[in-house]
Amino acid sequence: MPELPEVETVKRGLAPTMEGARIVKLELRRGDLRFPFPEAFGEKASGRTIVSLGRRAKYLLIDLDSGATIIAHLGMSGSFRIEAGPVAETPISETPGEFHHPRSKDEKHDHVIFHLEGPSGASRVIYNDPRRFGFMDMADRTALDINPFLYGLGPEPTGNALSAAYLAERFKGKAQPLKSALLDQKNIAGLGNIYVCEALWRSHLKPTRPAATLVTPTGKPTKQLDLLVSSIRDVIADAIKAGGSSLRDHIQTDGSLGYFQHSFSVYDREGQPCRTPDCGGTIARIVQAGRSTFYCPTCQK
């Protein structure tokens, strides 16, 4: 599933085409994705101008001049692609780059099409999703905090609200495994399996240790928790800079894939040497809450 860096990459790739463009028509080729589309979704979006694109956790936010926001989630296999030129002409798809694991471009999986008119002319932004685990919703912009998908989300890992002191308050007294605590979207919004594994490796913390062990008896953050927060920020920043991970089910909007995958230190590296200098350990894989966890038993304590 695309994680925060991948969704941020999609947002940045779509922004030049979508921001400031008018939605001539929002075409829905089926009645639902993972969930049914909002009532009169196409009618409410058609004719509106896209003010800006944003992101909250793993959700793409498309703000319209009506005061409404389209909330889009990519699910497991969802992706956007941009096609320029009038519909009657042969569309020009922005698909440069070498493909490692390309995403679907099969038209039978094109479920939502934004027909746009912008400063540079006509274009289409197409949402393709073979598995249909993604979804789209629409909400009033002023009420996003109480939207069922966004309500109760924790701070962004890239924002100032995430601090060691904040996590100490969330973790104190918690016997919950550290990895599970980090994946809890109420603690931190947008962190997923891949980047939690990477952040824990960078901070040399074992994923199974109780979250409370990073908090002092007086409720203060330990130095290890300070390092964890820094590692979370760094791994997310590195992934965004690299353009998102080039996983099987992620592709950038211009058709190219990110390359942070080739910099993974633990994720999907079971049986390979740990990259911590002078460690000498071997990356292991365990299963936590149904998800694969990759870590080094030697240097992660």
Residue 23 CB neighbours (<10 A):
24
Residue 133 CB neighbours (<10 A):
16
Residue 177, token pair as written in the block:
């495994």
Active-site choice (12, 105, 275, 291): 291
Residue among 224, 213, 204, 225 at smallest CA distance from 298? 204
From CA 289, how far away is CA 213, in angstroms rounded? 20
Active site residue 220: no
Give the DSSP H/E element, type plus range, for residue 110: strand 110-118
- Sorted by sequence, the CB contacts under 8 Å of residue 69 that are 6+ apart come out as 61, 62, 63, 138, 139, 140, 141, 144
Active-site choice (48, 56, 58, 269): 58
Active site residue 36: no
Active site residue 157: no
User: Counting beta carbons within 10 angstroms of the beta carbon of residue 38, is it exposed (0 to 12), middle (13 to 18) or buried (19 or more)?
Assistant: middle
Active site residue 58: yes
- Sorted by sequence, the CB contacts under 8 Å of residue 143 that are 6+ apart come out as none
Residue 198, token pair as written in the block:
């990477």
Which residues participate in catalysis according to the annotation? 2-3, 58, 291
